[in-house]
DNA sequence: GTATCGATTAGC
DNA sequence: CTAATCGATACA
C-alpha cells in the first residue's frame, strides 16, 4: 500500500478551502510483528484507529507538538498503516504557506509533521473515513510524472529501521530524508552521507 | 507516583 | 548537535 498510494492525490476540504497534494513518500508500519509500530503492544486509546477498518485515518500526536497522518490498510483487528511522509502541494498552496510560514513549495509538506500541518490535521481527524471525506484520496490515476519508485529503510525510528518499507518517488523535490540538504542548514553533508549508507 | 522517550522539526 | 513540549510507556 505504501507503494500504491504514491502519486495519488490526498485532499482535505474544510470551510477554509481545499488543500491537497500528491503523495510522494510513504512508510509502512505493521502491527504485532513490527517493533516500530505503535500497534506492536496491542490496542490502546491512541492507536485504536489502526485496529479499525481500512480506508480510515490514523492521526497521532508526538513530541508534544506534531501530528502525523497514517492511512489504515488492513481489515479490522489487524493493525497496519501507511505513514504519509511527504506531499507535492497541488491545491490550497496559499493556505499551506500560511499554516507553515514557509514560502518554498517543496518545503511545505516535506516530512510527516509538515504534511499534517499543511492539511490542517489534528487528533480531531483521527479515525475519519477516507472514502467519505472531508479527508479523502482521489480516484484519479496516480500522477508519478514518470518517476521511479524506490524503497529504503524507515526514517526517524530506533527499532526495525532496516526494514525497507519506506517508498518514495526518486528525485522528487518534495521527498524528505537525511540525504537532502536544506538551504541554510549547513554542514550536515558528511553525517548525512554516512546515514544514507547505513 | 516519577522518569524516560518518541513514526519530528527548526535552528546553530 | 539540541530545544521544544506533552502524551504514552515503563517501572518502583
Per-residue pLDDT of chain A (198 residues; tens, 9 = 90+): 999 999 999 999 999 999 999 999 999 999 999 999 999 999 999 999 999 999 999 999 999 999 999 999 999 999 999 999 999 999 999 999 999 999 999 999 999 999 999 999 999 999 999 999 899 999 899 999 999 999 999 999 999 988 999 999 999 999 997 654 444 333 333 333 333 333
pTM (predicted TM-score): 0.90
Å: A81 CA to B9 C1': 22
Give the per-residue pLDDT at A133. 83
Give the per-residue pLDDT at A184. 38
Å: A145 CA to C8 C1': 40
CB A106 within 8 A of CB A173: yes
Å: A146 CA to C8 C1': 41
Q: How far apart are CA A113 and CA A87, in angstroms?
A: 11
Q: How far apart are CA A30 and CA A53, in angstroms?
A: 14
Q: How many CA atoms within 13 Å lie on the side-chain side of A119? A: 38
Q: How far apart are CA A85 and CA A195, in angstroms?
A: 18
**Strand B–CB A126 distance below 7 A:** no
Q: How far apart are CA A62 and CA A71, in angstroms?
A: 17
Amino acid at each position: 500500500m505504501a507503494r500504491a498510494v504514491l502519486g495519488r492525490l490526498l485532499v482535505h476540504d474544510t470551510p477554509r478551502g481545499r488543500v491537497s497534494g500528491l503523495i510522494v513518500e510513504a512508510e509502512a508500519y505493521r502491527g504485532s510483528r513490527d517493533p516500530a509500530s505503535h500497534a506492536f503492544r496491542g490496542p490502546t486509546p491512541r492507536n485504536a484507529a489502526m485496529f479499525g477498518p481500512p480506508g480510515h485515518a490514523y492521526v497521532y500526536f508526538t513530541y508534544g507538538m506534531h501530528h502525523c497522518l497514517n492511512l489504515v490498510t488492513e481489515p479490522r483487528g489487524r493493525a497496519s498503516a501507511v505513514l504519509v511522509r511527504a506531499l507535492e502541494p497541488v491545491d490550497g498552496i496559499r493556505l499551506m504557506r500560511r499554516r507553515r510560514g514557509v514560502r518554498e513549495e517543496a518545503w511545505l509538506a516535506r516530512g510527516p509533521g509538515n504534511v499534517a500541518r499543511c492539511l490542517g490535521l489534528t487528533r480531531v481527524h483521527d479515525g475519519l473515513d477516507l472514502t467519505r471525506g472531508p479527508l479523502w484520496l482521489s480516484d484519479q490515476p496516480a500522477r508519478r510524472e514518470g518517476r521511479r519508485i524506490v524503497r529504503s529503510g524507515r526514517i526517524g525510528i530506533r527499532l526495525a529501521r532496516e526494514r525497507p518499507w519506506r517508498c518514495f518517488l526518486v528525485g522528487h523535490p518534495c521527498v524528505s530524508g537525511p540525504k537532502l540538504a536544506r538551504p541554510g542548514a549547513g554542514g550536515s553533508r558528511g553525517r548525512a552521507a554516512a546515514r544514507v549508507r547505513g
